[in-house]
Structure 1
């Protein structure tokens, strides 16, 4: 951590110090061990004493970011000097995904006992409106984790500060406003479909590290917030609201459509549910070094 960064962080994390690279044997650990290590040795140890202010989108920083690593890096920790230029601040909780009986999808869609969820907003809501987003990390025994990112939309939900007011999806429509168009153009350097995240990798391995012979995955998922997590619509810091969510809360009912039916929400079927298995924590590690890979979308 550079001296300048340390000075800016220590105000919110008094014990600020460099967090080393992950242990060399980390990837060979079980899913449970990896989740526990990141939670205990990274997220909780760098927990903020006071929440830092939300930052505006850093378009210049995004342009300078090696975005190809966002698509290709197979690690739970970001490379040195990585910057979350769009979703700078958020909160992280441990989660599990419980599938419905007879789910048609394979791999991690058959169940995840050990995962992380990071919730965040695009930039500073007072600057551009409230635009929530999330990222899921599913741990796998002896193999790299699989990750899924989802948004409400590219433009957000105006002055409605209820983080759970709308569904989240791995695919959102292209919009023609200047800000989103500029960000899309930057991401087009590394992906033909910057507003779409593929779910294919999640279907190819289960949580125990077993490869799937004939993988089947949904083309699009919809994370439908439950009544248990409805916040006020008036302005507030979403991180403070997240910290009040009890362990074991049913956050989302997850719906999916098969590949080729993307955009057809009326055809979506329930495929599982996401529950928290810890509290939500805002931390330096979660805001700077916890890494979520994007899988490129393929137009078949």
Structure 2
């Protein structure tokens, strides 16, 4: 069964080839780091007529390890760009394609965000599929019943550990539609109503093991925080303490020019390699500063009456994170939603839970995956507040940049088995 944090961690545990990075690797420039890892990717590139099938790929780690919090904690604690020790990837997203990218930020619109959301940077992106929701193990090239794209991006930092971005679509995939670039992806996922409590409990125990205070650990397995990515610029300069401004949500909107036929019979790796060329814009990058941000431009809450510290002007001088009309609730929760706790807002255009106002067809911020249902209704909301998507009430937030391919997307053993994408632990702050 699909679980967002599980799906990300399963991109981490792999059968190592051999350690190839030099001892002084972390002190190198971002460009040197990218060159070192890209050379390893090229040297272990698969031929397209000899792609490894899922059933013949490297032996995965035993899924019973998902119940071991110490085992899972490594995904947060290991700061290298290669897998530690003898880790093996599990059975979800075992194969993909990887390419060099540049994260280009539009600085005239991102002055409110800090770190990589302002400077951008160079790195690699791995495009894969989550296979955990298929009822049986299938060959990647076969027609899966649940085609579910995912992406992880690494941005290299001069003299510092890289920062990684994990993106997923949602809990339901896109059925048999084989267009890899069909849907938006985000760092936030809704909770499935049929989520396994065993997996959730294991991850909560893992989070409890992480060092530091409460803000140094993820708030939930469904919200993959962006604070650490906003705390450092690509040149290695750290953001002054207390001045980090991170988005609550980052949304990748795929380039419609990269569309793949929905009924393609090809292996998805072949299709992605075919449509992505050097210079292709893979995704435009959109961001929301606040859980209910409509896409302002100066970091202020759109309805805070001009305040500068995140307070709402209607909060009577309350704390930065609470509204007096929410009964003392937590960040982003509005008590004017009828008193419920399931994330419904009566001011979202009269819609039901998770209704998207940006659905309806074809533009960058629209969702094409609602199967023709009621406008913008999210089938995957599940009624939970944990992991609530902030785009229920208006578009995809502020356009802040784009991810551009600097190479072809290629299948590679190093890309599948060795490169490590650490999960950030720090929580978002208002």
User: Would the TM-score normalized by the shorter structure come out above 0.5?
Assistant: yes
Higher Cα radius of gyration: 2
SS in 1 for 2:107: coil
Instruction: Say whether the 8 Å CA contact 1:184–1:195 is kept in structure 2.
Output: no
* Alpha-carbon shift at residue 186 of structure 1 (Å): 3.9
* Alpha-carbon shift at residue 59 of structure 1 (Å): 3.4
Specify which of 44, 59, 63 is matched with residue 63 of structure 2: 59
Instruction: Provide closer, same or farther for how the CA distance between residues 168 and 287 of structure 1 changes in structure 2, counting only shifts above 3 A.
Output: same
Instruction: Provide closer, same or farther for how the CA distance between residues 54 and 185 of structure 1 changes in structure 2, counting only shifts above 3 A.
Output: farther
Query: How does 1:92-103 map onto structure 2 within 5 Å?
Result: 92-102=98-108, 103=110
Bigger Cα displacement from structure 2, 201-210 vs 56-65: 56-65
* Alpha-carbon shift at residue 96 of structure 1 (Å): 0.6
* Alpha-carbon shift at residue 157 of structure 1 (Å): 1.2
1:230 matched to 2:228: no
Unaligned runs of 5+ in 2: 1-15, 132-137, 208-218, 293-387
Instruction: Say whether the 8 Å CA contact 1:87–1:120 is kept in structure 2.
Output: yes
Aligned residue-pair number: 282
**In structure 2, C-alpha distance between the alignment counterparts of 1:182 and 1:120, rounded to whole Å:** 25
Specify which of 78, 93, 96 is matched with residue 90 of structure 1: 96
Query: How does 1:188-227 map onto structure 2 within 5 Å?
Result: 188-191=204-207, 193-213=220-240, 214-227=243-256
* Alpha-carbon shift at residue 200 of structure 1 (Å): 0.4
Specify which of 72, 77, 80 is matched with residue 75 of structure 1: 80
Instruction: Say whether the 8 Å CA contact 2:116–2:234 is kept in structure 1.
Output: yes
Scaled by the length of structure 2, the TM-score of the pair is: 0.61
Specify which of 261, 280, 294 is matched with residue 423 of structure 2: 294
Residue 176 (structure 1) aligns with:
193
**In structure 1, C-alpha distance between the alignment counterparts of 2:67 and 2:98, rounded to whole Å:** 26
**In structure 1, C-alpha distance between the alignment counterparts of 2:82 and 2:192, rounded to whole Å:** 31
Bigger Cα displacement from structure 2, 58-67 vs 284-293: 58-67
Query: How does 1:255-294 map onto structure 2 within 5 Å?
Result: 255-261=286-292, 263-265=389-391, 266=394, 268-294=397-423
**In structure 1, C-alpha distance between the alignment counterparts of 2:65 and 2:144, rounded to whole Å:** 18
* Alpha-carbon shift at residue 61 of structure 1 (Å): 5.5
CA RMSD of aligned residues (A): 2.3
Unaligned runs of 5+ in 1: 1-16
**In structure 1, C-alpha distance between the alignment counterparts of 2:177 and 2:144, rounded to whole Å:** 14
Bigger Cα displacement from structure 2, 242-251 vs 29-38: 242-251
Instruction: Provide closer, same or farther for how the CA distance between residues 27 and 176 of structure 1 changes in structure 2, counting only shifts above 3 A.
Output: same
Instruction: Say whether the 8 Å CA contact 2:178–2:268 is kept in structure 1.
Output: yes
* Alpha-carbon shift at residue 181 of structure 1 (Å): 5.7
Instruction: Provide closer, same or farther for how the CA distance between residues 18 and 148 of structure 1 changes in structure 2, counting only shifts above 3 A.
Output: closer
**In structure 2, C-alpha distance between the alignment counterparts of 1:251 and 1:161, rounded to whole Å:** 17
* Alpha-carbon shift at residue 83 of structure 1 (Å): 2.1
Instruction: Say whether the 8 Å CA contact 1:142–1:209 is kept in structure 2.
Output: yes
By percentage of residues, which structure has more strand?
1
